[in-house]
Amino acid sequence: QVPLVESGGGLVQPGGSLRLSCAASRSIFSIFAMGWYRQVAGKQRELVATISTGGNTNYADSVKGRFTISRDYAKNTVYLQMNSLKPEDTAVYYCNRDPPRMSWGQGTQVTVSS
């Protein structure tokens, strides 16, 4: 199974922005809804945002108005634009199908701290 490859994480101050990217195989990307998930050590992984093949989006209440999920069919990539970041957004972020059906990638660490 071709892995999902997340990138774009890093250390950012509160109020800052990051854009995460997730590259997937064309066979996966083109026919399935995709989602971004996040996990804090010791806690369950949670759904952050989803996007259907038609572009319909849904967000967790905690990120509504701050995060935007999008997908680029030409690049087989799904993005998560994160603005107005808060310390509580600190987590490892993963992408997967919605609902998740693939093996999890390594994720990308996002740390929001001053």
Per residue in 40-55, pLDDT (tens digit) is 999 999 999 999 999 9
E strands, 9-114, are 10-12, 18-23, 34-39, 46-51, 57-59, 67-72, 77-82, 91-97, 108-112
pLDDT of residue 3: 78
In whole angstroms, what separates CA 31 from the centre of its chain? 18
Does the pLDDT at position 31 exceed 70?
yes
Q: Which of 108, 114, 112, 109 is nearest to 4 (CA)?
A: 108
pLDDT of residue 1: 59
Does the pLDDT at position 2 exceed 70?
no
pLDDT tens digits for range 81-106: 999 999 999 999 999 999 999 899 99
